[in-house]
Amino acid sequence: MKQYCVYILTNKINTVFYIGVTGNLPNRIYQHKNKLLDGFTKKYNINKLVYFEQTEDVNSALRREKQLKNWRREWKIELINKNNPKWKDLTEILLDSESSSE
């Protein structure tokens, strides 16, 4: 079954957020980290994955992305703190879970 991810990226000092949705999170994070995508994330050096959630329904992923984008900054910070209190880059965890599921 196809998995869709809503994700939050931040910069090195956790001051700027980017929220996106994708059907291939490992590939999208690779693109952000290697600055292959022009735009906001490249301009502001946003490439640290601090939160993501998965669903099999693309429409619910798109709704959730829109919901998170409309949230106040404090709510986003609270969501990240609840799930990733040390604000670690979750890329390694993501890649480890991908390789173990193959």
Q: Is the confidence at residue 100, as pLDDT, over 70?
A: no
Give the right CATH number for 4-100 from 3.40.1440.10, 3.40.50.300, 3.40.1480.10, 3.40.50.720.
3.40.1440.10
pTM here is 0.92
Alpha-helix runs per DSSP H in the chain? 25-33, 40-43, 58-70, 73-83, 91-100
Could you read off the pLDDT of 4-61 as tens digits, one per residue? 999 999 999 999 999 999 999 999 999 999 999 999 999 999 999 999 999 999 999 9
Q: DSSP letter at 60?
A: H
Domain locations in the chain? 4-100
Could you read off the pLDDT of 68-88 as tens digits, one per residue? 999 999 999 999 999 999 999
Please state whether 78 falls in left (phi above 0), alpha (psi between -120 and 50) or beta: alpha
Q: What is the pLDDT of residue 93?
A: 81
